[in-house]
Amino acid sequence: MAVKIRLARRGRNKMPIYDIVVADARAPRDGRFIEKLGQYNPHATPAIVTLKNDRALYWLQVGAQPTDTTRKILSVNGVMFKKHLQIGVDKGAITQEQADAKFETWSKAKEEIRSQKIAKLNSSKEATRSAAFDAERKKKEDKVAAIAKAEADLIAASAPVVEEEVVEAVAEETAVEEVVVETPAVEEAPAAEVAPEAAAEETPAAE
């Protein structure tokens, strides 16, 4: 029986998540499988992979053939390199301690490179997010400026009319003040200030 290490699709529509399984090569893609080795989520950034490395190595050693995608996943996780080292140990080219040391060195270097890539990816995402935020803020500021300009233009257009109305109102008030002029009252002379000659004439002659 030919055995393959391949992906089995699951998840919702247009957002698939894949199980890494060992299955008969004649079985349907999403059909029965022998063992589940892990899971692969390509929609995360970076992609999320969970894998049972020891079981994947076992199936590779007993002859299971990975598909192209699963071979890439196994290679990234170091399973293919560990298989290569194990073949050297079985042939007597290197000892198990040497193989373990080489794999440890490779794992550290790989992890450092992965950390740098993730940091670069996160910084790129942050820059993209910041650029989008700045663009949205500029768009909002331009909108506010356009509204302010429209209001200023409207006020400037209506200003002459207001000034003419004020001038007309002032002219009307001035005209009313000119028409309504109070006539000053004539003051009568006090009785005590009558001329002496007039008083003498009014006094009867003494008999």
**Least confident residue range of 55-59, 73-77, 143-147, 182-186:** 182-186
* Contact (Cβ atoms closer than 8 angstroms) between residue 39 and residue 49: yes
Task: Report the relative pairing of strands 35-41 and 48-51 from DSSP bridges.
Answer: antiparallel
Strand partners, 39: 19, 50
Strand partners, 24: 3
SS3 content of the chain, % helix, strand, coil (to 5): 60, 15, 25
DSSP per residue, 66-86: E-HHHHHHHHHTTHHHHHHHH
Q: Give the pLDDT band of residue 146 (cuts 50, 70, 90).
A: confident
- pLDDT of res. 75: 92
Integer Cα distance of 153 and 159 in angstroms = 10
* pLDDT over 70, % of the chain: 74
Section 28-37 average pLDDT: 88
Domain 3-78 architecture: 2-Layer Sandwich (3.30)
Give the mean pLDDT of the chain.
79
**Is residue 21 pLDDT above 80, yes or no?**
yes
pLDDT digits (tens, 9 = 90+) for 41-89: 998 878 889 999 999 999 999 999 999 999 999 999 999 999 999 999 9
- Give me the residue spans of the domains in the chain: 3-78
DSSP per residue, 127-148: HHHHHHHHHHHHHHHHHHHHHH
**Least confident residue range of 39-43, 91-95, 203-207:** 203-207
